[in-house]
Structure 1
């Protein structure tokens, strides 16, 4: 059955065509109110939105089939990411579709500030011809300070270089090599504030960047600086900026984004040296088309082929990687589930070692699957998307190790769970038939497939155990499908991993636990 997608905001018709070409059924219903949307969302596998639709926790409760939310644009402020993550819903955005448009808007506002274009336009059209009133400044030779030199910021920076400006950038994640490549000087924030004639912001709004231009930092700026914000409202303390404009510390400011939007009133409105636009950063026909096409392609690739790109809550997986990754995801989740079902004490750490070729795959996705397997026996609602966040909230340390092939297998995954009482390890691989297999438990070699119902037994390696065990199951009407055995040494510790047809009655399991030499007997479900 073909997956179904709902487009609930206005998108280019070209996006609808892409969905249909890829084999996805699509309904276009822009303008639904939240109650109307809640009534029908349960019918859809995907939801494509812009900024109008609010994907709340309450809406997600009704979205029982939903697998992916695609935001045509970069900002996902209108999506409850933690709620989506908890329900296993992938949230994608399109961070590159409007990058050039947003950077160009920042440069346009910089020109408008430098030459006072809006005020000059109003004055001239009013018939005043105030030629001496509008004395501007040149951009050539001035210092442009870029706060946030990622995708959009780097485009704005290169445009500044092209305008013969000296460009300096503050971004903790900007490497010196990348800075040199785009022709900018990497500096600390205080240095940028002291030197820049123009400051343009291109960073997301986080706890670290909120009010990055605070009253304190505005006081550190070069007197007469001009500030442009086309990124996010809240990066600049608006009241403090108004005071800096009034005092002349800041010569002018141009904003496309505000703390509260739509911005009907704002401390900055009305100042003669302030320019405002209504969040137009992505508003060009090219950008609207680009993000619509991009979100349709991304959502289709995920729903049809399992590829994940530009997800904000899960590692990216290409369409080529997805088929290779899928059996290893099943293996990682199975290993985690095995350990999770046998672990009853609070987990302190989960360590996952990836040996051989599997280490070259997207191990973040594999780790998420493994952690989901570990946690699901005690927390039923955990999934591969939410697992890392749930583990972090519980203080569980996650450790990943990649190594060259260590043994006889091209790829091997070892999962180790540590509690205060014990450490338990299990390892396995995927054979050429694509089926995950358990090959090691507590260092003891074994060979078993994951099956829906299994019995795991640890016992002393003494003669007669297998006969007594098999007889007990036979007498109880429990049919054995496969029987895998392993031991550390003759007469030492042994394990049995037995696949059976159907769930094992608890009374039977208790009888197994009473057999001579048995140390542990547990039922497992996969």
Structure 2
């Protein structure tokens, strides 16, 4: 059955056609996002939701989204999506960070020119027939110092354009390496130095707990007298009331804002002040950008719903379509390893340690980690998936660590999962054979070779004669057919294990009969999601 996608905001017809061409059932209702009650009533029918800024994806919407797998925002900002609730629900949240990068960067440059040369005021004056040529004395950008707060995708483009304008560029970004700073031709500085040196300051960071009010009253007062401030990133990055005071006092010479702490902005401390340029969140408002993000969101959603590729996700590691194809068996294996160890562990888990060896260590480990954790957490919640599992683990205070190493044994690669509780450590390892089928290769340090089946039975015992016969006889009498039977032991006469792949769940009566023999120390039925 074809996946179903709802588009609840205005999106390019070309994007709608992409869904259709990919074989996805698309429902285009561009005004639905404004009706939250109607959206909540029908969202349960859809696998994907494509939105812009008008649709608010709230907890209520997500509570009704019984089939939803992915929400994709045509644009960068996802403030209109409850990402925590989406993660709890196991829904991937994507955005399209690259489709409007150039447009937003160009708008910041345009706003910088506008405030430097007082273009909006001069235009209004000239339209009024005043011809006040001497009133509008501007400043050049050449040889001025531009302070860029946030030198990521958009900030990096602004740096490049500013250097083309012969500006000196200093950048504050905790994630900017010296190598990257050298490559884009900027001087990497701390925030206080940027504030003291910059003639113009432009912001290009998301709104987070760390960046909220990054230009607070205290920091604004550290700026160079005559500075001009541009914000085309997110409202809330600047203390607008404090900025208004400094504009009025003359400490700040001008400001250009495209975004505001409250939008739509009907009133704001900056409105009406001289030499303040304001636009209504136009950073991405070009025909090229609108088309780009619409096409990008359609491709990303289609790739995920059809091929399992995860691109530009905010709450899950990204995985390309090619990675999804190559890693598919390894993702399945990691989920099975987690599933095994999760079903075997009854006490609270304190830590999960994951070892990747050989070819497995060269893969997208973040995605494999999520699959392992999802397998473990399914015992607590059967609906958990690769998106929600890390959230569930974090809420329970479970520490997750990863180790990778070069090929160290018989197999080209393998994954070993160990969980730590207050009572014990328990481990299981597996690999993927050339046939693409996951195998368990070690349990409790005992080597085995077991194919993974939907229904399995795990037993432990002392290594004595008669175990195989006992298992076969009792399960046969109970009508349980054995598809695969694997044995392993630590040493002759030592601890032994058996892992059976059976055609149907082992009934309680069969487990009771096995227990009555007193051969077995442990008898555990297991279930796995096998495609």
Fold conserved between structures, TM > 0.5: yes
| Of 421, 424, 432, the match for 1:422 | 424
Structure 1 residue 345, shift from structure 2 partner: 1.1
- Give the number of aligned pairs: 526
Q: Which moved more, 1:201-210 or 1:460-469?
A: 460-469
Q: Which moved more, 1:499-508 or 1:261-270?
A: 499-508
Structure 1 residue 511, shift from structure 2 partner: 3.7
| Corresponding residue SS for 2:321 | coil
User: Which ranges of structure 2 fall in alignment gaps of 5 or more residues?
Assistant: none
Provide the residue aligned with 2:492 in structure 1: 490
**Distance in 1 (alpha carbons) for counterparts of 2:176 and 2:503:** 57
**Distance in 2 (alpha carbons) for counterparts of 1:257 and 1:279:** 5
| Corresponding residue SS for 2:135 | coil
Provide the residue aligned with 1:295 in structure 2: 297
Provide the residue aligned with 1:43 in structure 2: 45
Could you tell me whether the CA contact under 8 Å between 1:86 and 1:383 is conserved in 2? Answer: no
**Distance in 2 (alpha carbons) for counterparts of 1:176 and 1:3:** 45
Answering whether residue 272 of structure 2 is matched by residue 270 of structure 1, we say: yes
Provide the residue aligned with 2:242 in structure 1: 240
**Distance in 2 (alpha carbons) for counterparts of 1:518 and 1:305:** 44
Provide the residue aligned with 2:437 in structure 1: 435
Answering whether residue 31 of structure 2 is matched by residue 31 of structure 1, we say: yes
Provide the residue aligned with 2:12 in structure 1: 12
Answering whether residue 124 of structure 2 is matched by residue 122 of structure 1, we say: yes
**Distance in 2 (alpha carbons) for counterparts of 1:301 and 1:362:** 17
Provide the residue aligned with 2:115 in structure 1: 113
Could you tell me whether the CA contact under 8 Å between 1:454 and 1:499 is conserved in 2? Answer: yes
Provide the residue aligned with 2:338 in structure 1: 336
The Cα offsets for residues 425-466 of structure 1, whole Å up to 9 and x where unpaired, read as 101111122211111101101111221222111111112233
Provide the residue aligned with 1:353 in structure 2: 355
Provide the residue aligned with 1:186 in structure 2: 188
Structure 1 residue 138, shift from structure 2 partner: 0.9
Change (3 A) 1:513 1:240: farther
**Distance in 2 (alpha carbons) for counterparts of 1:523 and 1:18:** 46
Could you tell me whether the CA contact under 8 Å between 1:465 and 1:516 is conserved in 2? Answer: no
Answering whether residue 508 of structure 2 is matched by residue 506 of structure 1, we say: yes
Change (3 A) 1:368 1:55: same
User: Which ranges of structure 1 fall in alignment gaps of 5 or more residues?
Assistant: none
Could you tell me whether the CA contact under 8 Å between 1:53 and 1:78 is conserved in 2? Answer: yes
Could you tell me whether the CA contact under 8 Å between 1:438 and 1:448 is conserved in 2? Answer: yes
**Distance in 2 (alpha carbons) for counterparts of 1:41 and 1:179:** 45
**Distance in 2 (alpha carbons) for counterparts of 1:499 and 1:96:** 48
Provide the residue aligned with 2:468 in structure 1: 466
Provide the residue aligned with 1:144 in structure 2: 146
Provide the residue aligned with 2:176 in structure 1: 174
Structure 1 residue 514, shift from structure 2 partner: 4.0
Answering whether residue 412 of structure 2 is matched by residue 410 of structure 1, we say: yes
| Corresponding residue SS for 1:132 | helix
Provide the residue aligned with 2:451 in structure 1: 449
**Distance in 2 (alpha carbons) for counterparts of 1:282 and 1:135:** 30
**Distance in 2 (alpha carbons) for counterparts of 1:494 and 1:234:** 62
The Cα offsets for residues 162-193 of structure 1, whole Å up to 9 and x where unpaired, read as 11111000001111111111111000000000
Could you tell me whether the CA contact under 8 Å between 1:349 and 1:397 is conserved in 2? Answer: yes
**Distance in 2 (alpha carbons) for counterparts of 1:517 and 1:227:** 78
RMSD: 1.3
Structure 1 residue 123, shift from structure 2 partner: 1.4
**Distance in 2 (alpha carbons) for counterparts of 1:168 and 1:335:** 49
Question: TM-score normalised to the size of structure 2?
Answer: 0.97
**Distance in 2 (alpha carbons) for counterparts of 1:335 and 1:514:** 29
Provide the residue aligned with 2:3 in structure 1: 3
Provide the residue aligned with 2:401 in structure 1: 399
Provide the residue aligned with 2:21 in structure 1: 21
The Cα offsets for residues 111-149 of structure 1, whole Å up to 9 and x where unpaired, read as 111111111111121122222221111111110000000
